[in-house]
Amino acid sequence: MSDAQRKVLVVGGGISGMTTAIEATEAGAEVVIVERNPYLGGRVVQLNQYFPKLCPPACGLEINFRRIKQSAGVTAYTLAQVTSIAGAAGGYDVTITVQPRYVNDNCTGCGKCAEVCETEIPDPLNFGMNTVKAAYLPHPMAYPFKYVLDPSIIGTDEAKKCKEACPYNAIDLEMQPTTVSLQVGAVVWATGWDPYDATKVDYLGFGSLPDVITSVMFERLAAPTGPTGGKILRPSDGKEVRSVAFVQCAGSRDENHLPYCSGVCCLASLKQASYIRERNPDSKAFIFYIDVRAMGKYEDFYTKIEQDENVTLTKSKIARVSKDPETGSPLVEGEDISQGAKVKQTVDLVVLAVGMAPGTASVKPDLEMGYDDFGFVTSPGDSGIVPAGCVKAPMEVAASIQDATGAALKAIHRTLGR
């Protein structure tokens, strides 16, 4: 076998991409990961806890980071994107562009640069719900464990101050974008998903009412590494949240938005109800759903949360979220489908369970891949480009890992041009 044939390119360093990389390298392939963020881990990094066990994702991620670190067969480029791929199964020429981090491998994560940096930017990890210094560690267990300088301060005195404060000569303000060319035998496309844009579902108040947030934002609001240190506080006034309405299918199963079910959102909201319930015994969670989708082994999790008397599940379609004229808090209105009655509930916070859309819904790379009606990637049988994880369909972490393991085998097979 040629060197190129033994090599697999993995685009996207989320849980799916990392799993494929680890499995493929442990089976003898060489792997190059290309990740656009300054860290690996993808959207799992932003979760507070995993359903159904309710453990923090940190432990699972840490094991994966360790396996990647210990493997001589994986090279990971962060802040990187593929700019071209040409060829066929068994032989692809690939070009990657790597954006400057302005921080080199000398970085120990000591944080001296951030101490002197006064400029703040919206925190990308927390969806801009807080700010971070423009010299920042993406999150406390970031892999690679290295600071990043935001491009907005490059060329300013602020950047020079950061450089002077670094005791390890780790800041390089002259860094430029670099191009990497390589040959690989197969490509695994694992670019994952994006939350559906909640501003498009305008009748649900996102963007106009400060106390209406999305499910992905709520994960950060509950996380110890989030904008409020894990205290669930209202964005509008910082008050402790004691009641939350979870609006299911916010834009999902709707011909005007995402016609499909993401399959994960009901479980995510049940899990998020437990975030609020465990913080305060008097807190209340109201879940408004069309159908609860908690299939297979997740049924028990649904039953457990449902038994809590302070969690109310109502089969309903929410028609409007507005500002309650009396309290100023969000008011959720709709129809209780099983009772045939109107629903009206004022709460401290509304969480919209937005669906999962593939990153490839808007930009479809012109490669040997197919796309379904919603932009999810399919793969023709003889293609050397193999999709993995949520870029194929919405799925939870366990399913993503299974799918990515299968993709590793398929990719190794395709490196041989078969």
Evaluate whether 36 touches 26 at the Cβ level (below 8 Å). Answer: no
In whole angstroms, the minimum distance from the beta carbon of 163 to ligand FAD comes to 28
Does the CA dihedral 359-219-37-124 come out positive or negative? positive
Q: What is the CB-side half-sphere exposure of residue 122 using CA atoms within 13 A?
A: 5
Write down the residue that tokens 């000569």 correspond to.
Answer: 169
Evaluate whether 83 touches 95 at the Cβ level (below 8 Å). Answer: yes
For residue 407, give the amino acid letter.
A
Query: Which range binds ligand FAD by CB under 6 A, 28-36, 66-74, 151-159, 301-309?
Result: 28-36
Evaluate whether 372 touches 268 at the Cβ level (below 8 Å). Answer: no
Query: Which range binds ligand FAD by CB under 6 A, 33-41, 126-134, 247-255, 282-290?
Result: 33-41
In whole angstroms, the minimum distance from the beta carbon of 186 to ligand FAD comes to 17
d(C-alpha 146, C-alpha 138), whole Å: 8
User: For the chain, how many helices (H) and strands (E)?
Assistant: 9, 23
Nearer to ligand FAD, 233 or 399 (CB): 399
Among 9, 22, 24, 34, binds ligand FAD (CB under 6 A): 34
Nearer to ligand FAD, 36 or 231 (CB): 36
Nearer to ligand FAD, 9 or 321 (CB): 9
Nearer to ligand FAD, 36 or 279 (CB): 36
> Between β-strands 91-98 and 80-88, what pairing exists: parallel, antiparallel or unpaired?
antiparallel
Nearer to ligand FAD, 171 or 247 (CB): 247
Evaluate whether 390 touches 192 at the Cβ level (below 8 Å). Answer: yes
Phi, psi at 401, each rounded to 5°: -65, -40
Nearer to ligand FAD, 34 or 223 (CB): 34
Among 185, 358, 359, 387, binds ligand FAD (CB under 6 A): 359
Check binding of 226 to ligand FAD (CB under 6 A).
no
Angle at 213 between CA 52 and CA 37, to 5 degrees: 75
Among 8, 13, 148, 288, binds ligand FAD (CB under 6 A): 13
Among 4, 5, 17, 376, binds ligand FAD (CB under 6 A): 17
Please name every residue paired with 400 in a beta bridge, in sequence order, or none if there are none. none
Tell which positions 127-186 bind ligand FAD, by CB under 6 A. none
Tell which positions 385-404 bind ligand FAD, by CB under 6 A. 389-390, 395-398, 400
Check binding of 35 to ligand FAD (CB under 6 A).
yes
Q: Report helix, strand or coil for 226.
A: coil
Q: Report helix, strand or coil for 202.
A: helix
Check binding of 58 to ligand FAD (CB under 6 A).
no
In whole angstroms, the minimum distance from the beta carbon of 77 to ligand FAD comes to 9
Tell which positions 267-306 bind ligand FAD, by CB under 6 A. 268, 271
In whole angstroms, the minimum distance from the beta carbon of 282 to ligand FAD comes to 25
In whole angstroms, the minimum distance from the beta carbon of 7 to ligand FAD comes to 17
d(C-alpha 213, C-alpha 352), whole Å: 6
d(C-alpha 150, C-alpha 123), whole Å: 11
Cα–chain center distance at 60: 15
Query: Which range binds ligand FAD by CB under 6 A, 64-72, 167-175, 212-220, 293-301?
Result: 212-220
Evaluate whether 375 touches 358 at the Cβ level (below 8 Å). Answer: yes
Q: DSSP letter at 56? A: -
Check binding of 251 to ligand FAD (CB under 6 A).
no
Nearer to ligand FAD, 44 or 331 (CB): 44
Q: Report helix, strand or coil for 159.
A: helix
The binding site for ligand FAD (CB under 6 A) comprises 11-17, 34-37, 42-44, 47, 50-51, 81, 190-193, 215-216, 219, 264, 268, 271, 356, 359, 389-390, 395-398, 400
